[in-house]
Chains A and B, each alone.
Chain A
Amino acid sequence: MRHILSVTVENEPGVLSRVAGLFSGRGFNIESLNVGPTLDTGVSVMTITTEGDEQIIEQIVKQLRKLITVIKVVDLTDLKSVLREMVLLKVNANDANRAEILRTVDIFRCKVVDVSIDELTIEATGNYEKISAIVGLLTRFGIKEISRSGMVAMKRSIQN
C-alpha cells in the first residue's frame, strides 16, 4: 500500500543524503520525495511517498525517527490530509487537435503556461489520481516532455 510520510528534519548539509541512504541501504522504495524549507529556517519538511506492507512501513517510520537529524515523522496515510502534486507537460499540438487539448485542460482546471506553433505546455496540480488521469488523457496527443513534482501534503485541520 502507498504511504505518505511527512518528515520534519534539521535543515543541514547531508540530511537528504541520510534519508535517501536509509531507503536505498535497507531496500525500501521511494516513489517520490519533495523537500522544502519551512518558516523556521533551521527546519525543512520532506514529503515522501513510499510503498510497502504494514511491517515495512513500521520499519521505515522507526528507522527515520532513529536518524539523529530527523525531528518528527507523521504518516499521513490514515489521516485526513490535503495531497497535491504538480506536473508540467509539453504536448504536441496541431490545428486539428489543439481545441481538444484545450478542452481537456479546461475540464481539469489546468493552465496553459507556454505556447508555440506545434506545442502546448500545460501546468496541472492535483492529487496523485488526478495527475495520473491528465497524463493518461494527454498521452494520445504525444507528450514530448514531462516534469512532475513529488507530492506535498498537509494534515487537514478538522479530522472528524
Chain B
Amino acid sequence: MELTGAQILLECLKREGVEVLFGFPGGAVIDIYNELPNTSLKHVLVRHEQAAIHAADGFARASGKVGCCLVTSGPGATNTVTGIATAYMDSIPVVILTGQVPTPLIGNDAFQEVDIVGITRPCTKHNYLVKDVRELAHVIRQAFYLARSGRPGPVLVDLPKDVMQVKTKFVWPDDVKMRSYNPNCKPHSGQIKKVAQLIRDAERPIIYAGGGVITSKAHESLTWLAKNLHIPVTATLMGLGCFPGDDKLWLGMLGMHGTYAANMAINNADLVLAVGARFDDRVTGKVSTFAPMAKLVHIDIDPTSIQKNVSVHVPLVSDCRLALEALKEELAPSLAEYDFEAGHMPWVTKVGVWGKEHPLNYQASETTIKPQSVVEKIHEITKGEAVICTEVGQHQMWTAQFYRFNEPNCFLSSGGLGTMGYGFPAAIGAQFARPDKMVIDIAGDGSIQMNIQEMATSVCNNLGVKIVILNNGYLGMVRQWQELFYKKNYCSTCMDAQPDFVKLAEAYGAAGFRITDPGDLDRVLRQALDTPGTVIVDVRVEREENVYPMVPAGASLTDMLLV
C-alpha cells in the first residue's frame, strides 16, 4: 500500500517508540498535523518552539529514551536552535523534525524558508534534508539510531512540504547499517588491566564522574566500585545522581562551585578516574594546576573528549557502563588479596576532615529567607525523590549543592550551554516521561521569565509541575560576578518591574503562592507542593546572597572563595 510522506513519517515515529511529540504547527507541516489524529501519538502543543525542543530534551533526560519534537519551517525551526545546542552540549538524544518549503522553492528565499540544516550543522550530531520520499523511512531510522547510540546527541531532519504530500510504498528498514559510523563501545582489555593496576597501586584515588555515567546507566557499577574499593566520589553538574548523595564517600560536586572537599581531594589525589566527563573549564579551573599529583585515567565513549583539554595517562575509549563492568570483573578477585578499606583509610579520613572543615554552608537568618534553605526544605519535603529541573544561575548552583541527589535521571539542568529558560519546559517534558514523580522546576526570577509562556502548556495538559522561584530581584549570578570582580557595577542585573508571579499563575489558571517570612517557609511550601496541578511558588529570598565556594574563572581549584 502506498502512503504519503506524512503517513510514513508518523508510522516511523511509532515504530521508533515515540510516545509524546512536542510541537507547534505551521504552513510547512500542516500535512503532518493533518495525519496526527489518525495515530496513537500524543502531541503536546507548546507556546514557543524553544519549549518544544527543551521539553523533548527533558523527556529524554528523565526517561533515558529519545525525545522528539516537530516544528514548522523558518522561524519555527530557528526557534529550536538554542534547545538543539543545549542538547548537543549535554549529549542528549533528541530528534528534531522541521518543516521546509517545497523542494522546488528551496534556495529561492521563499516564505518562511531558512537553511536550518546549514544553521544547525555545528550543533547537531548529524542532520538531514529529505529530498525524496523514498529515502524518508531510511533517514528517520538513521536519525533515531544516531541520536541514541555512541555519544548521544540531537539529530535534525528537515522535511520539505511536497515530500510530505507525495505517496510511495512504505518499506520499514529492518536494520541500520552505516559504513561511516561505528561507535566503539567496548573497552580494550589491555587498557582495563592497566587501569585496574593503577587502582590497586593508588593510595589516594578519586572518582570524577560526569554525565556519561548517567547516559550509559553506569551508576550501579560506579557505586559498586566506589563502595567496595573505598574510593571517594565527586561528580560534575551533569553527573549528579550517579552516586548516592547521602553516602560517606560522596564529596559533592567539584569545580567552580564545587565543595571544598571535592576540590581539595582532586588537588591531592594520586589517581583520578574520570568517567564520562570531559574536563570542562568550569570543572578544572586553571588546567595546568588540575590534579597536579595524580595519574589521570579517562574513560569516555567519544575519542575527541580524550586529550582535548588535558593530557591523560591512560585513555580508555568505551561506553562507561561496559568499562566499569569490565573493571569490576577485573578487580573483584583483588578484594580477597587487597584490603582496600585499610589501604585507603588515611585518604578517606583526610577527605572527611576537609569536608568537616568547610562543609557547604550559609549564614542562617531569622528575618530573611536564605535561598539555600529553600532547596534544603524542598529536599526534606520530597525526601530527595523528586525530579528536579533548574534554569541557569545561582539557584542552579544552590540546587546542585543542597539537593542531595540519590538517583540518576532526576536532575535536569543545562550544563554545557547554560541555557536560561531551559528548566520549565524541560520539567513539562519530564512530567510526561515520569507521571509517577513530582517534578519541580527550581528557578530564578530572571530565568523563569524566559519561557514563562509555557504555563499555558502545563495548565492545559493538567500537569503537576511545581515552579519554585528563588526570587532575589536580580540576575543573581551575573550580579555576584559584578560584586566580586567588577566593583559592584550592577549594570542591567537588577530586575525592576517584575510581574506579580502569584497573579501571573492565577491568570494562567494555575495556583500561586508567595513566601516572604522564613517562619512560613515550611508550611506554605508543603501546602504549595501538595496543591494539585501547576503551581508557582514565589519565594522572596535574601537579595544579595552569593554562591560559595567559588573558584574565580581561570584560577586553580584550591583558590576557593569560601563562605
Across the interface, which residues of A come within 8 angstroms of B304, CB to CB? Answer: 59, 62-63, 66
Q: Does A68 contact B (CB under 8 A)?
A: yes
**Within the complex, what minimum Cβ distance (angstroms) separates A25 from chain B?**
5
On whether the beta carbons of A21 and B122 are closer than 8 Å, the reply is: yes
Closest Cβ of chain B: how far from A10's Cβ, in Å?
6
Interface size on B, residues (CB 8 A): 18
Is A41 among interface residues, defined by CB-CB distance under 8 A?
Answer: no
| A46 interfacial contact with B, CB 8 Å | no
The answer to whether A14 has its CB under 8 Å from any CB of chain B is yes
Given the contacts A17-B118, A21-B122, A71 and B307 also touching, CB distance less than 8 Å: no
Question: Counting CB contacts under 8 A, is A3 at the interface?
Answer: no
Give A149 to B360 CA distance when docked, in angstroms.
61
Chain B positions within 8 Å of A21 at CB level: 121-122
Q: From B127, which residue of chain A is reached at the shortest CB distance?
A: A14
Per the CB 8 Å criterion, the residue count for chain A at the interface is 20
Q: Find out whether the CB atom of A68 lies under 8 angstroms from the CB atom of B178.
A: yes
Give the contacts of A1-42 with B (CB-CB under 8 A): 9-10, 13-14, 17-18, 21-22, 25
Q: State A69–B118 Cα separation when bound (angstroms).
A: 15
- Shortest distance from the beta carbon of A14 to any chain B beta carbon, whole Å: 7
Find out whether the CB atom of A55 lies under 8 angstroms from the CB atom of B122: no
Given A14-B117, A55-B311, A62-B303: A68 touches B181 (CB 8 Å cut-off):
yes
In the bound complex, residues from chain B placing their C-beta under 8 Å from that of A59 are 304, 307-308
- For residue B253, CB closer than 8 A to chain A, the reply is no
What chain B residues lie within 8 Å of A65 (beta carbons)? 303
The distance in angstroms between the C-alpha atoms of A77 and B530, with both chains bound, is 67
Contact A69 B121 (CB under 8 A): no
Tell me the nearest residue of chain B to A58, going by C-beta: B307
Would you call A71 and B180 a contact (CB within 8 A)? Answer: yes
Q: Which of A17, A55, A68 contacts B125 (CB 8 A)?
A: A68
Is B146 on the interface with A (CB-CB < 8 A)?
A: yes
Q: Are A17 and B180 in contact (CB under 8 A)?
A: no
Q: In residues 187-234 of chain B, which contact A (Cβ within 8 Å)?
A: none
B126 at the interface (CB under 8 A from A): yes
Let me know if A76 is at the binding interface, CB within 8 A: no
Residue interface mask A64-100, B partner, CB < 8 A = 1: 0110111100000000000000000000000000000
Residues in A whose Cβ lies below 8 Å from that of B15: none
Asked if A68 and B308 sit within 8 Å, CB to CB, the answer is no
Over the window 292-312 of chain B, the binary record of Cβ atoms lying under 8 Å from chain A Cβ atoms (1 yes, 0 no) is 000000000011100110010
CA distance A78 to B10 in the complex (A): 50
Question: Which chain A residues border B307 with CB–CB below 8 Å?
Answer: 55, 58-59
B453 to chain A, nearest CB (A): 32
B177 within 8 A of A: no
B523 within 8 A of A: no
Is the Cβ of A66 less than 8 Å from the Cβ of B180? no
Check: B179 CB closer than 8 A to any chain A CB.
Answer: yes
Are A18 and B146 in touch, CB under 8 angstroms? no
Report Cα–Cα, A152/B302, bound state, in Å. 30
Contacts of A70 in B (CB 8 A): 180
B268-305 at interface with A (beta carbon < 8 Å): 302-304
Q: Which of A13, A63, A68, A70 neighbours the largest number of chain B CB atoms within 10 Å of its CB?
A: A68
Chain A residues near B117 (CB, 8 Å)?
A: 14
| In-complex Cβ contact of B121 among A18, A55, A63 (8 A) | A18
CB nearest neighbor in B for A22: B122
Q: Which residues of A contact B180 (CB under 8 A)?
A: 9-10, 68-71
B121 A68 Cβ-Cβ under 8 A: no
CA distance A93 to B143 in the complex (A): 59
Query: Chain A's nearest CB lies how many Å from the CB of B153?
Result: 10
A21 to B146, CA, bound (A): 20
Residues of B within 8 A of A58 (CB): 307
Chain B, residue nearest A66 (CB): B304
Whether A68 contacts B303 by the Cβ 8 Å rule is no
What is the CB-to-nearest-CB distance from A39 to chain B, in angstroms, rounded to a whole number?
Answer: 16
CA A66 to CA B118, docked complex, whole Å: 18
Please, which residue of chain A has its CB at the minimum distance from the CB of B302?
A: A66
Roughly how many angstroms separate A66 CA and B184 CA in the complex, as a whole number? 11
A62 CB to nearest chain B CB (Å): 4
Which of B122, B179, B302 sits near A71, CB closer than 8 Å?
A: B179
Q: How far, in whole Å, are A62 and B121 apart by their CA atoms in the complex?
A: 17
Give chain A nearest CB distance to B62 CB in angstroms: 27
CA distance A18 to B125 in the complex (A): 11
Alpha-carbon gap, A9 to B178, bound state (A): 12
Q: Inside 8 A of A69's CB, which chain B residues have their CB?
A: 126, 180
Are B311 and A68 closer than 8 Å at their CB atoms? Answer: no
Q: With both chains docked as a complex, state the minimum distance between the C-beta of B290 and any C-beta of chain A, in angstroms.
A: 16
CA distance in complex: A71, B308 (Å): 22
Question: For A63, what are the chain B residues with a Cβ–Cβ distance below 8 Å?
Answer: 304
Q: Looking across the interface, which residue of chain B has its beta carbon closest to that of A54? A: B307
Residues of chain A lying within 8 A (CB to CB) of residue B308: 59
Which residue of chain A lies nearest to B180 when distances are taken between CB atoms in the complex? A71
Q: A14-B117, A59-B308, A71-B179 are in contact. Are A66 and B303 (CB under 8 A)?
A: yes
Q: In chain A, residues 75-129, which have Cβ atoms closer than 8 Å to a Cβ of chain B?
A: none
Restricting to B75-117, which residues have a CB under 8 Å from any CB of A? 117
Query: CA of A14 to CA of B106 in the docked complex: distance in angstroms?
Result: 15
Whether the pair B118, A68 counts as a contact (CB closer than 8 A) is: no
Among B121, B129, B179, B302, find the residue whose CB has the most chain A CB atoms closer than 10 A.
B121
- Contact yes or no, A14 B125, CB < 8 A: no
* Interchain CB contact (< 8 A) of A68 among B122, B129, B146, B302: B146
Ranked nearest first, the 6 interchain pairs of A and B with the lowest CB-CB distance are A68-B126, A71-B180, A62-B304, A25-B122, A62-B303, A63-B304
Question: Could you list 23 A-B pairs, sorted by A, with CB under 8 Å?
Answer: A10-B180, A13-B129, A14-B117, A14-B118, A14-B121, A18-B121, A21-B121, A55-B311, A58-B307, A59-B307, A59-B308, A62-B303, A63-B304, A65-B303, A66-B302, A66-B303, A68-B146, A68-B178, A68-B180, A68-B181, A69-B126, A69-B180, A71-B180
User: Which residues on A are within 8 Å of B, measured CB to CB?
Assistant: 9-10, 13-14, 17-18, 21-22, 25, 55, 58-59, 62-63, 65-66, 68-71
Chain B residues packing against A (C-beta within 8 Å): 117-118, 121-122, 125-126, 129, 146, 178-181, 302-304, 307-308, 311
**Given A9-B180, A14-B129, 18 further pairs, Cβ under 8 A:** A10-B180, A14-B118, A17-B118, A18-B121, A21-B122, A22-B122, A55-B307, A58-B307, A59-B304, A59-B308, A62-B303, A62-B304, A63-B304, A66-B302, A66-B303, A68-B125, A71-B179, A71-B180
